[in-house]
C-alpha cells in the first residue's frame, strides 16, 4: 500500500508528505494490516462512514473483543512504532489528544524530539514529562497540548494526583510493552493498564511490543485485539566488536 493512498482514510496531504520524506513511499505489510484490518486510522467521527474512509476489522474472531484496544507484537526493528505514530497523528488532526508512554527518560526525550522535528511546523503542540522535565506538567494538566510524551512513572503520578487530565484524551500508546517482564516496570505497567480500563471505557490503548518470552500470557492478559508478525524487514546481524571493527 502506498503512503499516498492513506488520503482515502482522511489523512491530509501535508502529513502524507512528511511520512514519505522520513519513512517510505510504501507501508510495510504489518503497517498495512494495521491500517486495513485494525483501524489504526479510525477516529470518532469516522464511525458509520463507508469502509473506504473508516475501515473496520472484518475478522470475526478478533471483533468479539468489547473494546477497541490493540496490541502489536513484532520483532525488534520491524518499525511497529510507526503504527503508533500513524494512530497518534490521526487523532491529533481530528482535534483529539494523545498520550505516548515510554519506560525511560532518554526514550521520552528522543520521542519528543522526533514528534517536534516532524510535526511542529504543522502547528501540533507537543509536551514532555519526566522526572527531569517538569516544565510542561501544568500544560498537560490543563490540556494545552496535542501529544504528550511521558514516562510510565510520571503518568502513574498524574493518574493519582490529577485523574481528570484524561478527559479529552482519546488514545494512549504504550511503547516498549515487552518491559512487562521487567521486575521494576512490569507491576507498574500492569497497574496502568488496569487503571485505564476502569477509568475511561472510550479511551483506546495501543500497545507496541517486541517478541518476548511467555508471549501467550501477555496476549491472554492484555485486553485488546492482537496483531502479531514475525517478519523482520531489517536484517539482524550478530558479531564481535574489537578495536573498532
Q: Which residues 6+ apart lie within 8 Å of 138 measured at CB?
A: none
pLDDT band at residue 55 using 50, 70 and 90 as cut-offs: very low
Gap between the Cα atoms of 86 and 105, Å rounded: 23
Tell me: pLDDT of 16 over 50: yes
Number of neighbouring beta carbons within 10 Å of residue 57: 17
- Top pLDDT among 182 and 9 is at 9
pLDDT per position as a tens digit, 110-144: 999 999 999 988 888 999 999 888 899 999 999 99
Beta bridge partners of 167: none
**139-149 CB burial, b ≥16 within 10 A, e <16:** ebeeeebbbbb
pLDDT value of position 192: 86
Number of neighbouring beta carbons within 10 Å of residue 152: 22
Which element (helix H / strand E) includes 128?
Answer: strand 126-129
Tell me: pLDDT of 151 over 80: yes
In the chain, alpha helices (H): 13-22, 29-38, 60-63, 81-93, 105-119, 137-142, 152-161, 185-199, 215-221
How would you classify the pairing of strands 70-73 and 204-209? Answer: parallel
pLDDT value of position 5: 95
pLDDT average, residue stretch 36-44: 90
Tell me: pLDDT of 66 over 80: no
Tell me: pLDDT of 215 over 90: no
Q: pTM, whole model, 2 decimals?
A: 0.85
Q: Is the dihedral of CA 54, 58, 63, 69 positive or negative?
A: negative
CATH node for 67-228:
3.40.50.300
Gap between the Cα atoms of 231 and 219, Å rounded: 18
Gap between the Cα atoms of 180 and 147, Å rounded: 24
pLDDT value of position 59: 42
Amino acid at each position: 500500500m502506498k503512503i499516498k493512498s492513506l488520503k482515502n482514510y482522511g489523512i491530509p496531504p501535508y502529513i502524507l508528505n512528511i511520512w514519505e520524506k522520513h519513512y517510505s513511499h510504501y507501508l510495510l505489510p504489518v503497517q498495512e494490516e494495521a491500517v486495513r484490518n485494525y483501524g489504526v486510522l479510525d477516529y470518532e467521527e469516522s464511525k458509520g462512514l463507508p469502509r473506504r474512509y473508516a475501515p473496520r476489522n472484518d475478522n470475526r474472531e478478533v471483533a468479539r473483543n468489547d473494546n477497541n484496544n490493540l496490541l502489536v507484537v513484532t520483532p525488534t526493528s520491524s518499525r511497529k512504532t510507526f503504527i503508533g505514530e500513524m494512530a497518534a497523528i490521526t487523532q491529533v488532526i481530528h482535534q483529539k489528544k494523545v498520550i505516548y508512554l515510554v519506560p525511560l527518560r532518554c526514550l521520552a526525550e528522543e520521542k519528543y524530539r522526533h514528534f517536534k522535528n516532524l510535526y511542529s511546523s504543522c502547528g501540533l503542540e507537543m509536551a514532555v514529562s519526566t522526572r527531569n522535565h517538569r516544565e510542561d506538567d501544568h500544560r498537560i494538566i490543563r490540556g494545552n497540548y496535542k501529544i504528550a510524551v511521558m514516562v510510565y512513572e510520571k503518568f502513574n503520578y498524574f493518574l493519582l494526583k490529577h485523574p481528570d487530565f484524561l478527559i479529552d484524551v482519546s488514545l494512549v500508546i504504550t511503547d516498549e510493552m515487552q518491559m512487562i517482564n521487567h521486575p521494576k516496570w512490569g507491576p507498574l505497567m500492569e497497574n496502568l493498564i488496569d487503571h485505564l480500563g476502569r477509568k475511561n471505557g472510550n479511551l483506546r490503548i495501543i500497545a507496541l511490543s517486541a517478541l518476548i518470552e511467555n508471549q501467550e500470557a501477555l496476549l491472554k492478559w492484555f485486553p485488546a485485539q492482537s496483531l502479531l508478525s514475525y517478519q523482520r524487514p531489517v536484517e539482524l546481524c550478530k558479531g564481535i566488536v574489537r578495536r573498532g571493527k
